[in-house]
A and B are shown apart, each in its own frame.
Chain A
Amino acid sequence: NAGVTQTPKFQVLKTGQSMTLQCAQDMNHNSMYWYRQDPGMGLRLIYYSASEGTTDKGEVPNGYNVSRLNKREFSLRLESAAPSQTSVYFCASSEYRANVLTFGAGSRLTVL
C-alpha cells in the first residue's frame, strides 16, 4: 500500500545547480501531477501528465521540465535552480483525467 512515493524528501541546492525529483505510484493510475506548495498560496500545478506519453503545462511551469518515464513514474527536473524555487513539491496521481487525487508525502527543496 505504498500509494505515491516521492524521493528525496529533503534537498538543499545552490543557485544554478540541477536536480530531479522522482515520483512513482503503484495504483495503476493513468494521470500524474506535480504541484508546489508555498506559504499563503496553497498548491499550484506545475505540470501534469494525463496519460503515459503526454505532458502539459500547469499554472507555474517556468523553470521546470518533466518526464513521464512510464505509467508508474513521473519526474520533475530543475535545470538551473533559483531561490524562487524553494518550496515543498507534491506529486499526485489519479484515474485518467479524474479529479480525485492521491498525493505523495512531499519533497522539501531549499535553494540557497
Chain B
Amino acid sequence: AQSVTQPDIHITVSEGASLELRCNYSYGATPYLFWYVQSPGQGLQLLLKYFSGDTLVQGIKGFEAEFKRSQSSFNLRKPSVHWSDAAEYFCAVGAGSSNTGKLIFGQGTTLQVKP
C-alpha cells in the first residue's frame, strides 16, 4: 500500500538559516510527489510537484525538492528561511499511473521560525 512518512513532526529554525524537511514514500511504481503548505486557518497551497524528468524541482517561495528514487525520498529545502515560512508542510504521493487525484498525505511537519 502507498504511504508517506514525514519523520519530523515539529522543526524550529532561525530566520535566515537553511531548511530541510524530510519525506519518505512507499509506492511500487513511479510516484507523483507533492509538497503543500498550510498557513494557520488556511487551506493547502501547492509548493511544488514532481511527475518525471529532472529530479530537482523548483517551486514557489524559493523552495526546491529533490526526488531520490534509491532512497524513496522527496525532501524539501530552502536556503534561507523567512519568518513568513512558519506553517505546516505536507508531503503527498499520487498514483502516477492512474492519475486520479487521490493523494496520500504524510502526517505533516510544523515549522517554527525564530527571529
Contact = CB atoms under 8 A, between A and B. Distances in A.
Interface of A: 4, 31, 33, 35, 40-45, 48, 50, 58, 90, 92, 94, 97-106
Interface of B: 4, 9, 32, 34, 36, 41-46, 49, 51, 90, 92, 94, 96, 98-103, 105-108
Given A90-B44, A99-B99, A103-B44, A43 B32 contact: no
Contacts of A105: 41-43
27 contacts: A31-B101, A33-B102, A35-B105, A40-B107, A41-B107, A42-B107, A42-B108, A43-B90, A45-B103, A48-B101, A48-B102, A50-B100, A90-B43, A92-B44, A97-B98, A97-B101, A99-B32, A99-B34, A99-B96, A100-B46, A101-B44, A101-B46, A101-B103, A102-B46, A103-B36, A104-B43, A106-B43
Contacts of B102: 33, 45, 48, 58
A90 B90 CA distance: 14
Given A40-B107, A42-B106, A43-B105, A97 B43 contact: no
